[in-house]
């Protein structure tokens, strides 16, 4: 009987790839609730190549295929497949569809000084007024400026610009489609027209031909190519979710009102609100808020904070492989330590040693240097929570509105010590969950396309009753 019931299910597959790992998560609706199951997981990592930090996209694509083969092994064939990844990184393709150069990652140092070069063409103020995107030196516009100076031949040969999930979709289907939410992270999409800013692209001397039509989440990319079908053993439609992982994560926030702040917590912390109208004012720029595009032309008005990356990097350097609970206990022991970091300082982006980077920052700023693991951990936790509290205050100051709740979603929502500090410092009600928010948001876009949900309101209501969302005690 169970076998017959399973055969009737409609499955959807989210391929959610982060900076350190990727996972294939099957989703389906059962008894009015969303059910999910992780069926495949793989490592992702940066590799040094020709003096640059790069992604191995060929290996990533092979991992995507292995996860699809796992669907066949389990006899759980998805109706559709969606891929999401981090933002800003891209590849250029020549006319034959081959990648030009290496797939250089956002943590690479090639963009140093590129902001100055871009501002010779357009002022920082005007750039923000056009696109409303937070300045991060690794944004695509600065990566493209680096390419213009370091490898202009690639731009001359390029026929297509594809961000990482779009490139993986191309490898699966043979179709090249640019997706709106991820495109906004390039700083080349106009916040008012919600399309490529052709005037800006021209002023920057970039070839307009490489930027394709923008498609919204729910759009079909196409069926799996014949050779892919042969390898994995089935056909399925590839559908665009919000391909920027934060866009997908915010889709899965289990609330439909406008009285909350979300915190998508993982390697990066994305903290903000949903808006229907962008804020590209000078005040917003001064506060360094971003207006990233979201599902159905919503805007994610948020700050991009370094997040658990610092903690993850410290953990790799510790001699003992502590469990997460042990890390929380150690951090609490170090709660006497007074020094505070600017967690967004460039020193923490890709240091050779995160321990030394934290210690050197404290010395540079005239603060006590952490010596023990307890002190290092508490220093980072305390600094992150204080950054969250400051961001909440800025959001309320800029919007003139009070938000009583914070919804923490993503893998970092399991970090109960950080959640506790966040509740304490912000004075807000903090709710944790769901954990797999990004994959859920990816699945929701596919389910909305197939009309499994009538609209986003119904989808979020279903998520709220499908997963254990816990209130954090401060």
Tell whether 225 and 266 lie within a shared domain.
no
If one counts every other C-beta atom within 10 angstroms of the C-beta of residue 338, the result is 11
Tell whether 228 and 259 lie within a shared domain.
no
Tell whether 62 and 92 lie within a shared domain.
yes
pLDDT surpasses 60 at 6 = no
pLDDT surpasses 70 at 303 = yes
Which residue is it, tokens 């953990």?
315
pLDDT surpasses 90 at 66 = yes
**pLDDT for 2:** 42
Task: List, in order, residues 6 or more apart from 352 with CB less than 8 Å away.
Answer: none
Among 208, 239, 270, the domain-final residue is 239
Tell whether 100 and 134 lie within a shared domain.
yes
Band (333; pLDDT cuts 50, 70, 90): very high
Band (5; pLDDT cuts 50, 70, 90): very low
**pLDDT for 236:** 98
Tell whether 138 and 271 lie within a shared domain.
no
**Residue 318 forms part of a structural domain:** yes
228 in Cβ contact with 169 (< 8 Å): no
Tell whether 220 and 88 lie within a shared domain.
yes
- Triad 68, 73, 75: Cα angle to 5°: 95
**Residue 266 forms part of a structural domain:** yes
Tell whether 78 and 137 lie within a shared domain.
yes
Give the tens place of pLDDT for each residue, 408-420.
Answer: 999 999 999 999 9
Structural domain for 148, as ranges: 2-239
Number of structural domains in the chain: 2
**Residue 179 forms part of a structural domain:** yes
Span 25-45, mean pLDDT?
97
Span 271-294, mean pLDDT?
96
**Residue 466 forms part of a structural domain:** no
**Residue 442 forms part of a structural domain:** no
Tell whether 175 and 272 lie within a shared domain.
no
For 378, left (φ over 0), alpha (ψ -120 to 50), or beta?
alpha
Q: Looking at the annotation, which residues are catalytic?
A: 245
**Residue 57 forms part of a structural domain:** yes
**Residue 444 forms part of a structural domain:** no
pTM beyond 0.75: yes
Give the C-alpha separation, 354 to 316, whole Å: 9
**pLDDT for 473:** 82
**pLDDT for 1:** 38
**Residue 398 forms part of a structural domain:** yes
- Triad 38, 40, 45: Cα angle to 5°: 115
Span 170-177, mean pLDDT?
98
Average pLDDT, the chain: 96
Tell whether 231 and 368 lie within a shared domain.
no
Q: What is the CATH number of the domain that holds 379?
A: 3.30.420.40
Tell whether 266 and 186 lie within a shared domain.
no
460 in Cβ contact with 263 (< 8 Å): no
Give the tens place of pLDDT for each residue, 125-170.
Answer: 999 999 999 999 999 999 999 999 999 999 999 999 999 999 999 9
């Amino acid at each position: 009987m169970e076998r017959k019931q399973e055969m009737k299910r409609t499955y959807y597959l989210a391929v959610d790839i982060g900076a350190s790992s990727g996972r294939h998560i099957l989703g389906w609706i059962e008894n009015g609730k969303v059910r999910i199951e992780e069926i495949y997981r793989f490592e992702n990592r940066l590799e040094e190549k020709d003096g640059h930090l790069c992604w191995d996209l060929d290996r990533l694509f092979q991992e995507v295929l292995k996860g699809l083969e796992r669907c066949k092994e389990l006899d759980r064939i998805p109706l559709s497949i969606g891929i999401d990844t981090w933002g800003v990184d891209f590849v250029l393709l020549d006319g034959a569809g081959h990648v030009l150069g290496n797939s250089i990652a956002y943590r690479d140092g090639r963009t140093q000084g590129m902001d100055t070069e871009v501002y010779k063409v357009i002022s920082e103020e005007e750039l923000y007024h056009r696109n409303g995107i937070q300045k991060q030196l690794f944004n695509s516009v600065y990566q493209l400026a680096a390419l213009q100076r370091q490898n202009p031949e690639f731009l001359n040969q390029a026929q297509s610009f594809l961000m990482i999930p779009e490139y993986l979709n191309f490898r699966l289907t043979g179709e090249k489609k640019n997706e709106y939410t991820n495109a906004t992270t390039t700083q080349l999409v106009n916040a008012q027209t919600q399309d490529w800013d052709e005037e800006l692209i021209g002023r920057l001397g970039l070839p307009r031909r490489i930027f394709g039509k923008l498609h919204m989440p729910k759009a079909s990319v196409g069926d799996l190519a014949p050779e892919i079908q042969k390898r994995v053993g089935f056909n399925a439609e590839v559908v665009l979710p919000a391909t920027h992982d934060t866009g997908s994560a915010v889709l899965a926030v289990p609330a439909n009102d406008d009285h909350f702040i979300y915190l998508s917590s993982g390697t990066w912390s994305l903290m903000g609100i949903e808006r229907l109208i962008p804020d590209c004012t000078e005040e917003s720029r001064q506060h360094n808020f971003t207006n990233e595009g979201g599902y159905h032309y919503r805007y994610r008005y948020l700050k991009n904070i370094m997040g658990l990356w610092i903690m993850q990097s410290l953990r790799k350097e510790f001699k003992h492989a502590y469990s997460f609970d042990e890390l929380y206990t150690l951090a609490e022991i170090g709660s006497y330590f007074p020094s505070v970091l600017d967690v967004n300082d460039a020193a923490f982006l890709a240091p050779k040693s995160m321990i030394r980077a934290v210690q050197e920052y404290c010395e540079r700023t005239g603060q006590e240097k952490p010596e023990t693991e307890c002190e290092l951990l508490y220093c980072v936790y305390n600094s992150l929570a204080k950054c969250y509290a400051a961001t909440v205050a800025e959001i309320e100051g800029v919007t003139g509105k009070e938000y009583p709740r914070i919804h923490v979603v993503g893998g970092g929502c399991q970090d109960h010590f950080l959640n506790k500090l966040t509740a304490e410092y912000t004075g807000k009600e903090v709710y944790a969950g769901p954990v797999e928010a990004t994959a859920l948001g990816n699945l929701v876009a596919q389910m909305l396309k197939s009309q499994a949900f009538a609209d986003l309101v119904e989808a979020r209501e279903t998520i709220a009753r499908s997963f254990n969302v816990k209130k954090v005690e401060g």
